[in-house]
């Protein structure tokens, strides 16, 4: 079962970012599948850590492109704040999983699904539009 299916509406207009988003969706679906079938806490923790490392690389890429592309400072700060809030929230779920919280995996996946869809459709599409067209949406 998949948690998230890639849709064309998620495209930002930046091929590099869209490719990374597709890879994130694939990794998210792998993590979701393992959380449902793998009860070994160590394995789940490893999968989540791998996903988080990829997310960190992706965020760094987005942030670099935004800075280099002249994305307005105020909007960039909002975008960076979204990334920081995401990391903090996922870290909270990671700690809860580590402490044996039975609901943490369900809450984590619901949060990640919601966050990625809204972030891609909002902040990332706005960034993509600006970088591709030099204007705000």
Which one, of 40, 39, 52, lies nearest residue 93 by Cα?
52
Q: Is the dihedral of CA 53, 57, 62, 63 positive or negative?
A: positive
Is pLDDT of 73 > 90?
Answer: yes
Position 54 scores a pLDDT of: 92
Each residue's pLDDT tens digit, 88-107: 999 999 999 888 887 888 89
Is pLDDT of 133 > 90?
Answer: no
Position 40 scores a pLDDT of: 65
Each residue's pLDDT tens digit, 34-58: 776 765 667 777 888 888 999 999 9
**Helix, strand, coil abundance in the chain, percent, nearest 5:** 80, 0, 20
Name the maximum alpha-carbon separation found in the chain.
Answer: 48
Neighbours of 1 (CB within 10 A): 6
The number of C-alpha atoms within 13 Å of 74 and in the hemisphere containing its C-beta is: 1
Position 118 scores a pLDDT of: 94
Each residue's pLDDT tens digit, 1-33: 578 889 999 999 889 899 999 999 998 888 888
Is pLDDT of 77 > 70?
Answer: yes
As a whole number, mean pLDDT of residues 117-130 equals 93
Which one, of 131, 120, 18, lies nearest residue 71 by Cα?
131
Question: How far apart are the C-alpha atoms of 12 and 8, rounded to whole Å?
Answer: 9
What is the model's pTM? 0.87
């Amino acid at each position: 079962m998949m948690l998230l299916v890639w849709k064309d509406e998620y495209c930002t207009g930046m091929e590099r970012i869209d490719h990374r988003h597709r890879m994130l969706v694939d990794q998210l679906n792998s993590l979701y599948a393992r959380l449902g079938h793998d009860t070994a806490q160590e394995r789940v923790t490893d999968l989540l850590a791998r996903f988080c490392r990829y997310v960190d690389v992706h965020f760094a890429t987005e942030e670099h492109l935004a800075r280099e592309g002249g994305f307005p400072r105020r909007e960039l700060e909002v975008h960076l704040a979204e990334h920081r809030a995401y990391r903090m929230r996922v870290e909270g779920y990671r700690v809860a999983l580590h402490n044996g919280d039975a609901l943490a995996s369900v809450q984590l996946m619901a949060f990640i699904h919601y966050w990625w869809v809204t972030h891609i459709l909002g902040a990332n599409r706005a960034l993509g539009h600006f970088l591709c067209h030099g204007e705000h949406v």
